């Protein structure tokens, strides 16, 4: 099939590359001319495992990139909207980019098209896009479909090619049939429902996963107070198939482009419907407190923050991505700086993105060992494999004081303590 993907961020670029790899003819569209030039040279503009290989394999054959929305829409049968829906001032999803994309699509429709809302959008967005296009499409036939993405940064290519399920929200049998054919080769469960339910499935899924993260972080705090080990507790819980092991890993809090934004948007959706979502508000509160508690642990370990050197490993909100949006690590570094600490940071992929968010005063290291040189404490905030594989004998020799706060519980406490470190995890 012929596909246009409007927006080449995390979702758009992965969607375009994966559909191309499945044999569809794909045009990726973006207004950023420099980004399009880089993509057409085969340069991936985000860090995502497996994406560079897909791009190079399909570029110039099934996959091309352009700034020309009009042409891309005209030659395509299906048009995906994958532009951003950032958080607005009141916590609601900002739909301005979606409305702009829909207006541009409407001006280019000739013949029947399926317009697919792929980005995470509030309930009612399908009708919004439909209304915008209908006003400007001049009577052309089209259907607007909700097809939420369930991609995890770091494993997005694998998630696309091996989905747990594919959700399609539409009341058009014609659109449902074409979307079914589009995804046929993935051989995954296809769930066709109404648009509003499809939109809510995405928000409900992210809110539930965020709830699991905040729940296990709250349990971790109780474990510390009672002498229990949260990793053992999570292991014992996870064997219950009704609960499972996924997202039962305690840490400094959740972040990224989805959970914080989508949870807050769902709270606003509920409020606009006359319902106070106390449970999800509690999830968000636990998440905020977890970052403060982590910074507080550093201060307690050092006696005070002022003038103390803290080495931070990890800035991305999780491993295997360069995304620092709403990253707990970024917020914790800010809190440490506010307390007067001298902070040196390192991340294998997220350093450049973090520079735009972190305040002045942060020192950026060239590698993990440079980060810990003369440090009073090592704080691990992202569980990159690179950190787990370090020579901790050398780390100890370089540090001023062998204090380690492992906020991701990614190290083996006994092994680290045997090397003379004063080790502390989260809930252990």
Cα–Cα dist 5/61, whole Å? 16
Cα–Cα dist 379/339, whole Å? 15
C-beta neighbour count of 165 within 10 angstroms: 10
C-beta neighbour count of 271 within 10 angstroms: 15
Cα–Cα dist 124/99, whole Å? 13
Residue 15's closest CA among 214, 165, 200, 150?
Answer: 150
Residue 3's closest CA among 97, 73, 87, 84?
Answer: 73
Region of 404 on the Ramachandran plot (φ > 0 left; ψ -120 to 50 alpha; else beta): beta
Cα–Cα dist 115/99, whole Å? 13
- Please provide the DSSP assignment of 104-155 as one string: HHHTT--S-EEEEE-S---TTHHHHHHHHHHHHSTT--EEEEE----PPTTS
| Helix, strand or coil, per DSSP, at residue 418 | helix
Region of 323 on the Ramachandran plot (φ > 0 left; ψ -120 to 50 alpha; else beta): beta
Cα–Cα dist 72/108, whole Å? 9
Name the residues annotated as catalytic. Answer: 258
Cα–Cα dist 179/170, whole Å? 10
Cα–Cα dist 85/93, whole Å? 6
Dihedral (Cα; 24, 30, 34, 40), 10-degree rounding: 10
Residue 125's closest CA among 144, 151, 105?
Answer: 144
Cα–Cα dist 68/66, whole Å? 5
Question: What does R_g of the chain's alpha carbons equal in angstroms?
Answer: 23
């Amino acid at each position: 099939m012929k596909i246009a993907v409007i927006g080449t961020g995390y979702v758009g670029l992965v969607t375009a590359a994966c559909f191309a790899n499945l044999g569809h003819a794909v045009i990726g569209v973006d207004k950023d001319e420099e980004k399009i030039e880089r993509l057409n040279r085969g340069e991936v503009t985000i860090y995502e495992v497996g994406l560079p290989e897909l791009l190079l394999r399909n570029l110039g054959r099934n996959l091309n990139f352009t700034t020309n929305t009009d042409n891309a829409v005209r030659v395509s049968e299906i048009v995906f909207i994958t532009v951003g829906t950032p958080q607005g001032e009141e916590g609601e999803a900002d739909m301005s980019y979606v409305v702009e994309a829909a207006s541009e699509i409407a001006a280019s429709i000739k013949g029947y098209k399926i317009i697919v809302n792929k980005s995470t959008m509030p309930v009612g967005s399908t009708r919004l896009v439909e209304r915008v296009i209908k006003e400007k499409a001049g009577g052309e036939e089209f259907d607007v479909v909700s097809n939420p993405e369930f991609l995890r940064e770091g494993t997005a290519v694998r998630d696309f090619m091996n989905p747990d399920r594919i959700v399609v929200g539409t009341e058009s049998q014609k659109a449902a049939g074409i979307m079914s054919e589009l995804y046929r080769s993935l051989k995954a469960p296809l769930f066709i429902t109404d648009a509003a339910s499809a939109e809510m499935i995405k928000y409900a899924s992210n809110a539930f996963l965020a709830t699991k993260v905040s729940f296990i972080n709250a349990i971790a705090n109780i474990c510390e107070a009672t002498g229990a080990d949260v990793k053992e507790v999570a292991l014992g819980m996870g064997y219950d198939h009704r609960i499972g092991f996924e997202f039962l890993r305690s840490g400094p809090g959740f972040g990224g482009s989805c959970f914080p934004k989508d949870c807050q948007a769902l709270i606003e959706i509920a409020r606009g419907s006359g319902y106070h979502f106390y449970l999800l508000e509690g999830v968000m509160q636990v998440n905020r407190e977890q970052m403060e508690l982590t910074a507080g642990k550093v201060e307690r370990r050092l006696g005070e923050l002022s003038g103390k050197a803290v080495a931070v490993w990890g800035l991305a909100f999780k491993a295997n991505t360069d995304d620092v949006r709403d990253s707990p690590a970024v917020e914790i570094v800010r809190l440490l700086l506010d307390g007067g600490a001298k902070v040196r940071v390192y991340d294998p992929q997220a350093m450049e993105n973090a520079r735009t968010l972190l305040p002045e005063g942060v020192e950026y290291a060239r590698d993990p060992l440079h980060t810990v040189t003369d440090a009073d404490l090592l704080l691990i905030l992202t569980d990159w494999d690179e950190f787990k594989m370090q020579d901790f004998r050398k780390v100890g020799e370089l540090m001023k004081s062998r204090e380690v706060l492992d906020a991701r519980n990614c190290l083996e406490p006994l092994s680290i303590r045997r090397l003379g470190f004063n080790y502390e995890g989260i809930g252990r």
